[in-house]
């Protein structure tokens, strides 16, 4: 569901609201309805996984829980985050809308850049920002695997790839690319020589996979002796997963976007059917696919972050 509503109970548990429901009128406009009595707590939470949220829902929710001390907006993926360099700037516009909504806190994961959160803080300095611990989430997910290093696919990935590498105790290697500013097309790509000279297993780390072109160029820049796993915090997968899965040993993402859940399930279902038709054991096929494509649930990490507000 694109909008989920929670309270932190007096026992310190994140509990889903059953009294709140998003209602869509036949003409398409939406509102938030209350079924019965709405009992609020000191900390109220809304989790939004829409890439283009209907801010009406957020504003109505903030109004309904206005008596609560903390009104926490969880945006695992910041809406229009990739528009941080566009004009007009949709990242900044969404941030300003959020700033005026009546929230007290924002929780997010792996922001594309600082633009969104900087604008939010400038527009409303009282809002407290909490970023989920990306290196810990990645480490908890891939800790069973062994890598020679972490690869950042471009200069923009340097900070997050370096943080993950530090957490894993591995060296970090950053690729370079050139993009035509007029068309957006990539015109050149170079992998670090140290990676080229040392074939083996590597973890590629970045925040967003849209069409996946950069990640495919990376596989072209290394040899077949390089075994690459891909971590992307936000799996848009707008050109689906097939091309990536032919080049990467594993693809790992989170459920921050509905598209990540949909496309990974779609690919796994189609691949499972193919393996069964070719005579693979059903359980063996399922186990293999679970290892090749993984979607990390964020709710436990969100719960820990929100409950910590109560402890503070």
Q: How far apart are CA 17 and CA 283, in angstroms?
A: 37
> What's residue 83's pLDDT?
73
Is 176 within 8 Å of 154 (Cβ atoms)? yes
> What's residue 239's pLDDT?
85
**Domain final position from 131, 161, 186:** 131
Classify residue 312: in a domain, yes or no: no
How many percent of the chain have pLDDT more than 90?
Answer: 73
Q: Are residues 155 and 283 in the same domain?
A: yes
Is 209 within 8 Å of 237 (Cβ atoms)? yes
> What's residue 175's pLDDT?
95
> What's residue 31's pLDDT?
92
User: Any idea what the CATH number is for the domain that residue 126 is in?
Assistant: 3.40.50.2020
Kindly report, residue by residue over 275-301, the tens digit of the pLDDT. 889 898 888 888 888 889 999 999 999
Q: Are residues 155 and 292 in the same domain?
A: yes
Q: How far apart are CA 216 and CA 247, in angstroms?
A: 7
Q: Are residues 124 and 227 in the same domain?
A: no
Residue 312 has pLDDT above 70, yes or no: no
Q: Are residues 216 and 127 in the same domain?
A: no
Kindly report, residue by residue over 256-273, the tens digit of the pLDDT. 999 999 999 998 999 889
Q: How far apart are CA 122 and CA 112, in angstroms?
A: 18
Chain length of the chain? 312
Residue 49 has pLDDT above 70, yes or no: yes
**Domain final position from 131, 149, 182:** 131
**Domain final position from 131, 159, 187:** 131
Q: Are residues 252 and 182 in the same domain?
A: yes
Q: Are residues 213 and 80 in the same domain?
A: no
The lowest-confidence range among 55-59, 181-185, 220-224 is: 181-185
Kindly report, residue by residue over 155-177, the tens digit of the pLDDT. 999 999 999 999 999 999 999 98
Beta strands in 79-226 (DSSP E): 105-108, 128-131, 149-152, 172-174, 176-179, 186-190, 201-209
> What's residue 187's pLDDT?
67
Classify residue 302: in a domain, yes or no: no
How many domains, in total, are found in the chain? Answer: 2
Classify residue 289: in a domain, yes or no: yes
Classify residue 301: in a domain, yes or no: no
Strands, sheet with 250-254, edge to edge from the N-terminal-most edge strand: 172-174, 149-152, 201-209, 227-235, 250-254, 293-296
Around Cβ 275, how many Cβ atoms within 10 Å? 17
Residue 75 has pLDDT above 80, yes or no: yes
Q: Are residues 123 and 210 in the same domain?
A: no
Q: Are residues 205 and 84 in the same domain?
A: no
Span 82-101, average pLDDT: 89
Classify residue 303: in a domain, yes or no: no
Q: Are residues 173 and 49 in the same domain?
A: no
Q: How far apart are CA 285 and CA 263, in angstroms?
A: 18
Q: Are strands 20-24 and 30-34 parallel, antiparallel or unpaired?
A: antiparallel
Structural domain of residue 90, as residue ranges? 3-131
Q: Are residues 142 and 110 in the same domain?
A: no
pLDDT band with cut points at 50, 70 and 90 for residue 226: very high
Kindly report, residue by residue over 181-218, the tens digit of the pLDDT. 777 676 678 999 999 999 999 999 999 999 898 999 99
Q: Are residues 43 and 142 in the same domain?
A: no
Classify residue 304: in a domain, yes or no: no
Kindly report, residue by residue over 114-146, the tens digit of the pLDDT. 999 999 999 999 999 999 999 999 999 999 999
Q: What is the pTM of this model?
A: 0.92
Tokens read off for 192: 């670090």
Classify residue 211: in a domain, yes or no: yes
Position of tokens 């008596």?
67
Q: Are residues 290 and 145 in the same domain?
A: yes
Span 68-89, average pLDDT: 90
Q: State the chain's mean pLDDT as an integer.
A: 92
Is 254 within 8 Å of 260 (Cβ atoms)? yes
Classify residue 162: in a domain, yes or no: yes
């Amino acid at each position: 569901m694109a909008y989920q509503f929670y309270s932190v109970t007096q026992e310190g548990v994140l509990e889903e609201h059953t009294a709140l429901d998003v209602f869509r009128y036949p003409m398409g406009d939406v509102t938030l309805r209350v079924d019965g009595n709405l009992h609020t707590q000191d900390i109220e939470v809304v989790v939004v996984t829409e890439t283009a949220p209907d801010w009406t829902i957020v504003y109505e929710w903030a109004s309904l829980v206005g008596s609560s001390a903390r009104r926490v907006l969880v945006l695992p993926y910041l809406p229009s985050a990739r528009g941080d360099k566009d004009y007009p700037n949709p990242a900044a516009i969404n941030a300003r809308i959020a700033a005026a909504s009546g929230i007290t806190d924002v929780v997010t994961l792996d922001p594309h850049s600082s633009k969104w959160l900087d604008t939010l803080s400038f527009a409303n300095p009282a809002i407290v920002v909490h970023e989920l611990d990306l290196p810990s989430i990645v480490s908890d997910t891939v800790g069973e695997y062994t890598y020679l290093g972490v690869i950042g696919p471009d200069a923009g990935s340097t900070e997050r790839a370096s943080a993950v590498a530090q957490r894993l105790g591995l060296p970090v290697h950053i690729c370079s690319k050139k993009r035509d500013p007029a068309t957006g097309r990539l015109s050149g790509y170079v992998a670090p020589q140290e990676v080229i000279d040392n074939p083996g297993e590597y973890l590629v780390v970045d925040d967003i996979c849209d069409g996946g072109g950069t990640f495919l160029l990376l596989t072209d820049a290394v040899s077949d002796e390089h075994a690459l796993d891909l971590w992307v915090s936000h799996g848009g997968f707008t050109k689906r997963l097939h091309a990536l899965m032919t080049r990467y040993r594993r693809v790992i993402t989170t459920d921050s976007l509905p598209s990540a859940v949909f496309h990974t399930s779609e690919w796994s279902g189609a691949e499972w059917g193919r393996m069964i038709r070719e005579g693979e054991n059903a359980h063996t096929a399922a186990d293999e696919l679970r290892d090749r494509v993984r979607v990390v649930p964020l709710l436990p990490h969100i719960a820990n972050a929100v409950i910590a507000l109560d402890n503070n």
